[in-house]
């Protein structure tokens, strides 16, 4: 299922203002490639997509420099200026999502996370990975489960979070 449209323009403007053109970005769980389409003219973008049919049906290789058919859990990389987890964490267990974020934190300048709140969803179009495992997420639960992030765009039933800046950032 494609990513929600809420807040995408605001987040795009924030990122384009924050990063110089040619900065690197990793889109984790690219699905339909909306972030590649929205940011690809500004960022050099790679993507991870677990469901192989999405790579072909959404022409992801045309939207990203490189597309990795892989599970984000355990996927290794060196560094990106920006890492986007757009509509991804709710599809993982809390423990797996925490592992992915802890791995990502020291390997980027910025992390953007988008999550729906209290949204139940099962497999969709033959994609078992579309199931929401964390269908209980609220802003309060997000903050409890994922320290080191702050909400910066809120739509009531959907929120965007960014990595809290440290002295090294």
pLDDT for 50? 93
* Assigned domain for 50 exists: yes
pTM over 0.85, yes/no: yes
Residues 6 or more apart in contact with residue 82 via CB below 8 angstroms: 15, 19, 23, 24, 25, 26, 43, 108, 109, 110, 111, 112
Residue 147 lies in a domain: yes
Number of domains, the chain: 1
129 inside domain: yes
For the chain, the average pLDDT equals: 89
Whether 145 maps to a domain, the answer reads yes
Domain limits for position 96: 22-163
CATH number of the structural domain spanning residue 83: 3.40.50.150
Please indicate, yes or no, if residue 4 is contained in any of the structural domains: no
In a domain, 62, yes or no: yes
């Amino acid at each position: 299922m494609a990513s929600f449209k809420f807040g995408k323009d605001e987040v795009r403007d924030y990122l384009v203002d924050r990063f110089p053109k040619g900065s690197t970005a990793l889109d984790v769980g690219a699905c339909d490639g909306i972030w590649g389409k929205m940011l690809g003219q500004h960022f050099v973008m790679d993507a991870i997509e677990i469901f192989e049919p999405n790579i072909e049906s959404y022409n992801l290789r045309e939207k990203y420099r490189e597309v990795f058919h892989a599970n984000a859990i355990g996927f290794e990389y060196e560094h990106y200026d920006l890492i986007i987890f757009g509509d991804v964490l709710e599809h993982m267990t809390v423990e797996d999502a925490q592992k992915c974020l802890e791995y990502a934190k020291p390997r980027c300048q910025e992390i953007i996370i988008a999550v729906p709140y209290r949204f139940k969803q099962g497999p969709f179009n033959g994609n078992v990975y579309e199931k929401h495992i964390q269908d209980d997420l609220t802003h309060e639960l997000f903050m409890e489960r994922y320290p080191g992030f702050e909400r910066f765009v809120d739509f009531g039933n959907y929120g965007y979070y960014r990595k809290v800046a440290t002295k090294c950032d």
